[in-house]
Chains A and B, each alone.
Chain A
């Protein structure tokens, strides 16, 4: 069965510091993997996605993610966080239907 685990409920990072949000998935075949961001009171917006090919994926707003099949992981990274990155981040795995992780809330401190 498909599942997604985001181990961190919330993370606090200083502005300008690097960020890594963890995501582990369970899926029988090669998955379609996504990271979405949700700002307060808004819908979800796609940051990046992985289907196949290069395992390091670049997204919008300076985010990237690396697919590691051996670890069943798809962690999201950003080298320097901005205050506007404070939001809820969702990892998702998709086969026939999309399963979302529980989300990681990012707090950015000045």
Chain B
């Protein structure tokens, strides 16, 4: 069983389009995250949700909107895609109620390419 899954694994799209990436965890964790990894492998947190509540919202463009329908799912919707959005996006989850103090379990990543 996959602990943290993301769909799709690859996403190629044109500038200006709107796309979504889905994430699901079956670990029963309370906290979920979205990270962006750029071409130099630099990993930066974007958002964190704890039990469906937004906890961390880094300075990302408001074209990015996370949605957590329940604590097992955290989706990422991106409007008006730009070339600079090309990256690998990782979803992660952790058990703790206090964000940042526990092991994070990462999904396999979604490679987004904007043409």
A residues with CB within 8 A of B: 32, 34, 36, 38, 41-46, 49, 51, 88, 90, 94-100, 102-103, 105
B101 within 8 A of A: yes
Cross-interface CB contact of B100 among A36, A42, A43, A96, cutoff 8 Å: A96
Residue of B nearest to A99 (CB): B45
Cross-interface CB contact of A102 among B42, B100, B103, cutoff 8 Å: B42
Docked-complex contact B103 and A44, CB < 8 angstroms: no
Docked-complex contact B56 and A97, CB < 8 angstroms: yes
A-B CB contact pairs (8 Å), 28 listed? A32-B100, A32-B101, A34-B103, A36-B106, A41-B109, A43-B90, A43-B107, A44-B43, A44-B92, A44-B104, A44-B106, A45-B106, A46-B103, A46-B104, A49-B103, A51-B101, A88-B41, A94-B100, A97-B48, A97-B56, A97-B99, A98-B45, A99-B45, A100-B42, A102-B40, A102-B41, A103-B41, A105-B41
- Contacts A32-B101, A49-B103, A98-B100 known; A43 to B4 CB distance under 8 Å? yes
Count A/B pairs, Cβ under 8 Å: 54
Give CA–CA (A92, B38) in the complex, Å: 17
B residues with CB within 8 A of A: 4, 40-45, 48, 56, 90, 92, 99-101, 103-109
Give CA–CA (A36, B105) in the complex, Å: 10
Residues on A with C-beta less than 8 A from B105 are 46
Q: How far is the CB of B62 from chain A (nearest CB, A)?
A: 19
